[in-house]
Chains A and B, each alone.
Chain A
Amino acid sequence: MVNERRGFIGWLLGGGVVASVGSFLYPVAKFVNPPAVPEAVVDEVGAGKAQDFKVNSGKIVKFGSKPVLLIRSGETEWKAFSAVCTHLNCTVQYKEDAHVIWCACHNGMYDLNGAVVSGPPPKPLDEYVVRLRGEEVFVSRRA
């Protein structure tokens, strides 16, 4: 009877240990396997190829969790600003005809330095840095 009991304890303990250790090792094994997207978002975001941007056009680019307005103001001139209007946080857009950054909500306008030209916005737009590496356009935060 003692042997049977020992056997039962052995199975219980063995089974429990295997199951518990398994429940510890399974997540660890999964953890060390790199995920599909192996990089975390960083200080810099790729915005595409330079040739895809017409001169005097603007595009909203996702920078981490914030929208950024990338403007190609000239053949080799690029500007990028936070696309969040400083008045009531609507998303701004680039107006090609007037060469201004415009907020549709209350007609706020910023110039190509991010400064407020007219309307209710109280502060200028934060500027971002645009760099070209070969054909690729990169937007990054100011140092």
Chain B
Amino acid sequence: MPPVEEKRRLQRGVAWLDERLGLASIREFISHKTVPVHSGTLWYYFGGVTLFLFVVQVLTGILLLLYYRPTPGEAYESVQFIMTRVQFGWLIRSIHSWSANLMILAAFIHMFSVVFLRAYRRPRELTWLSGLALLGLALGFGFSGYLLPWNTISYFATKVGTDMAASVPWAGPALARFLRGGEDVGGATLTRFFGFHVAVLPGLATTLIALHLMLVQRHGISSPPWIEKRFTASGGRVPQMPFFPNFFLRELMAWYTALGVLGCLAALLPWELGEKADPFASAPAGIRPEWYFLAPFYTLKLIPSHVWFLEGELLGLAGFGLLALWWVMLPFWATNREGVERTRLVTGAGVLLVAYLATFSLLGYLK
């Protein structure tokens, strides 16, 4: 078919869809979406990378669902089956495990870039809140998914994690019972965590992602205040590039890079199977959670068992709770009552938090 005719056919097809789906208004909207161009533009990719990795998780997760069995008698064996018997099962499973870690890393980078580039300012407070909720969900995904292979390290990591939940005052034991589906970590826990991991959390995440993205579209992408000042002072605007196709093509490059990294990790450092969980065996020496929980884990290890009259662990958990709450409320204390930005406070807090997380995660890994 000559190219001119081909093009006309394509246009007719698009018009057919447009009449029914209203594509034209979407295209109109997208054509106006822009992304600021400045020295910090690099950081704008991380939100998209996090989203991309989430999509990778959903897709590989669905594939794993074709073979995984969520009971203590079969979970480990089904994962072993996937790793050894299913064609490319090793690839899908390793990508799922590595992408989980990369997604959480990307989410943290995204969050800290928002802090340091001050994208949480009015009117983007809800975007910040929904983003933090998504980070919490991502950690929940990580925690629930970790148990599913039912190996020694999963079992004991879950035991330690739910034990910590139990030490929350007043609601602790009920919370632990809710998480475990009983008094101990067992088959009921596995069923429950599976349900959280494949149904509850994805549902919540989808809703929050939709909200988060809708808010980003509504408010546009923010520029850091010092960049804004530089341009508005001379009466101009911060330079922008069209989202489509310019930024999007670059975003595609970032996504492809992520895919390349995932492929290398999966092929060269495949995720291990471990040993099947034995609830009656004692916890292996040096048990520790995944890296994203290492900082609080190591902190708790350092706190003495009793500080004054309070139990050390309780104090630690209370500390984390307060820290989390304070951090969640960041947009609200980042600006004082007169509307002046507490820039140095926010930067300092951000730097301290990064330093704390990085140092303690490293220490937790080495010790």
Contacts and interface: CB of A to CB of B under 8 A. Distances in A.
Contacts of A134: none
Contact of B77 (A28, A35, A40): A40
A35 B85 contact: yes
- For A20, A32, A37, the residue with the greatest tally of chain B CB atoms inside 10 Å of its CB is A32
Contacts of B81: 40-41
Interface in B54-99: 63, 66-67, 69, 73-74, 77-78, 80-81, 85-89, 91-92
B80 A40 contact: yes
Interface string A1-39: 000000000000000000010001001101111110100
A35 B73 contact: no
Interface in A57-79: 64
B256 A31 contact: no
A98 interface: no
Interface residues of B, number: 19
A135 to B, nearest CB: 25
Contact of A32 (B66, B78, B85): B66
Contacts of B66: 31-32
A27 B80 contact: no
B238 interface: no
Interface in A97-134: none
A41 B92 contact: no
Given A24-B259, A31-B63, A41 B89 contact: no
A40 B78 contact: yes
A27 B77 contact: no
A71 to B, nearest CB: 24
A54 B93 CA distance: 45
Contact of B87 (A24, A35, A43, A141): A35
Contacts of A43: 73-74
A27 B90 CA distance: 10
A41 B85 CA distance: 11
A43 B187 CA distance: 14
Contacts of B89: 31
Nearest to A33: B87
A24 B266 CA distance: 13
Nearest to B78: A40
Given A20-B256, A31-B87, A35-B87, A41 B63 contact: no
Interface residues of A, number: 17
Nearest to B73: A43
Contact of A42 (B77, B86, B88): B77
B85 A37 contact: yes
Given A37-B85, A40-B78, A40-B80, A32 B73 contact: no
Contact of B88 (A27, A34, A64): A27
A55 to B, nearest CB: 31
Contacts of B91: 27, 31
A37 B80 CA distance: 13
A21 to B, nearest CB: 10
Given A31-B88, A32-B63, A42 B259 contact: no
A33 B66 CA distance: 10
A101 B92 CA distance: 45
A64 B276 CA distance: 11
Given A31-B88, A37-B85, A40-B81, 17 more contacts: A24-B259, A27-B88, A27-B91, A28-B88, A30-B88, A31-B63, A31-B92, A32-B63, A33-B87, A35-B85, A35-B86, A40-B67, A40-B69, A41-B77, A42-B77, A43-B73, A141-B73
Q: Which 4 residue pairs spanning A and B have beta carbons closest together?
A: A27-B88, A40-B81, A30-B87, A43-B73
27 contacts: A20-B259, A27-B88, A27-B92, A28-B63, A28-B88, A28-B92, A31-B86, A31-B88, A31-B89, A32-B63, A32-B66, A33-B87, A34-B86, A35-B85, A35-B87, A40-B69, A40-B74, A40-B77, A40-B78, A40-B80, A40-B81, A41-B77, A41-B81, A42-B77, A43-B73, A64-B77, A141-B73
Interface of A: 20, 24, 27-28, 30-35, 37, 40-43, 64, 141
